[in-house]
């Protein structure tokens, strides 16, 4: 039996599956909203999530051409002011001229839809740069380079731009070597990560993502005769920051925001809502 037709596979849902199959089930198959906190202290966590969303909106409007002075007048919070000034001084330079924000690309893979929403795509004939803006609380470490390189976001974003982005290149698919992904950090503005792409990595990503989706479908099929019961992660460190921990009997107290391991997990609250976005069909 195929996966449910309304299940859209994104970097977030695929990352959840690889981190914890039960979390994938609860979040994307059962669609269970569980009100536990991801981290303590709650108000600080919530504040940085809110500021991160505001920062993304500001940058989006700037990339679409709104004047800096007008946007700066909207910035009053001290942390947001610092991020905004960091962005104005250190945003990635020499990007292709055409800017697309909050763009969605989607393609079919192994019978399922896989989908990505990009913070910024900068494109020109024969060149495409993906920029992802990362915000965090002051003092938080940058994730390690190899951690980000191997995260589903990096693999899915670069792969989909080649597989489903021909309409952004005059009808010809971008070659992997024409694609680059940049992670820019509001708290570490002069230390972005640049990840170029290659044909060999594109083929590896195709194989990896196809296998992963087939595995998810296999797991789903094994269980459709009874109530879904995907396995819990054996790595209990992940549970401290997971909103389902009391449901899984993996503790009741949220992990501390100061101890958040950026190499292990990312906050999820900034993930987008699929119902809110228009798809660009492949």
- The residue (of 164 and 216) whose beta carbon lies closer to ligand SF4 is 216
Look up residue 235 and give its two tokens.
Answer: 């790595």
- The residue (of 7 and 75) whose beta carbon lies closer to ligand SF4 is 7
Minimum gap (Å) between residue 242 Cβ and ligand SF4:
3
Q: Which stretch binds ligand SF4 (CB under 6 A): 22-30, 73-81, 89-97, 177-185?
A: 22-30
Minimum gap (Å) between residue 118 Cβ and ligand SF4:
27
Q: Is 110 left (phi over 0), alpha (psi -120 to 50) or beta?
A: left
Spell out, one character per residue from 195 to 224, where the chain touches ligand SF4: x when CB under 6 A holds, - when not.
Answer: ------------------------------
Q: Which of 120, 163, 239, 254 binds ligand SF4 (CB under 6 A)?
A: 239
Q: Which of 22, 113, 142, 155 binds ligand SF4 (CB under 6 A)?
A: 22
Q: What does the DSSP 8-state code read for residue 237?
A: G
Which residues, in sequence order, are CB contacts of 193 under 8 Å at separation 6+?
Answer: 145, 148, 149, 182, 183
Name the H helices within the chain. 11-19, 21-24, 42-63, 68-72, 78-90, 145-150, 152-164, 199-223
Separation between Cα atoms, residue 250 and residue 237, nearest integer Å: 10
Binding of residue 233 to ligand SF4 (CB under 6 A): yes
Return the ∠ at Cα 177 (arms to 277 and 201), rounded to 5°: 80
Please tell me the number of Cα atoms within 13 Å of 213 on its side-chain side. Answer: 24
Q: Which of 9, 20, 130, 181 binds ligand SF4 (CB under 6 A)?
A: 20
Interface ranges with ligand SF4 (CB under 6 A):
20, 22-23, 26, 232-233, 238-239, 242, 244-245, 248, 250
């Amino acid at each position: 039996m195929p996966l449910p037709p309304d299940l859209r596979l994104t970097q977030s849902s695929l990352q959840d599956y690889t981190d914890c199959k039960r979390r994938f089930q609860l979040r994307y198959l059962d669609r269970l909203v569980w009100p536990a906190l991801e981290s303590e202290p709650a108000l600080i966590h919530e504040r940085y999530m809110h500021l991160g969303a505001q920062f993304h909106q500001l940058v989006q409007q700037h990339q679409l051409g709104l004047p800096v002075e007008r946007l700066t007048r909207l910035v009053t919070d001290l942390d947001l002011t610092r991020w905004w000034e960091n962005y104005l001084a250190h945003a990635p330079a020499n990007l292709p001229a055409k800017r697309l924000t909050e763009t969605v690309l989607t393609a079919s893979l192994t019978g399922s839809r896989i989908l990505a929403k990009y913070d910024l795509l900068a494109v020109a004939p024969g060149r495409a740069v993906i920029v992802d803006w990362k915000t965090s609380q002051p003092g938080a470490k940058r994730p390690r380079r190899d951690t980000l390189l191997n995260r589903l976001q990096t693999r899915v974003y670069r792969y989909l731009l080649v597989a489903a982005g021909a309409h952004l290149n005059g009808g010809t698919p971008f070659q992997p070597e024409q694609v680059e992904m940049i992670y820019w950090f509001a708290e570490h503005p002069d230390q972005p990560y640049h990840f170029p792409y290659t044909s060999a990595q594109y083929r590896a990503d195709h194989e990896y993502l196809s296998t992963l989706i087939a595995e998810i479908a296999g797991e789903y099929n094994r269980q459709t005769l009874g109530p879904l019961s995907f396995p819990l992660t054996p790595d209990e460190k992940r549970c401290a920051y997971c909103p389902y921990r009391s449901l899984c009997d993996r503790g009741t107290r949220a992990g501390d925001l100061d101890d958040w391991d950026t190499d292990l997990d990312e906050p999820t609250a900034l993930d987008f809502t699929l119902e809110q976005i228009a798809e660009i069909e492949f």
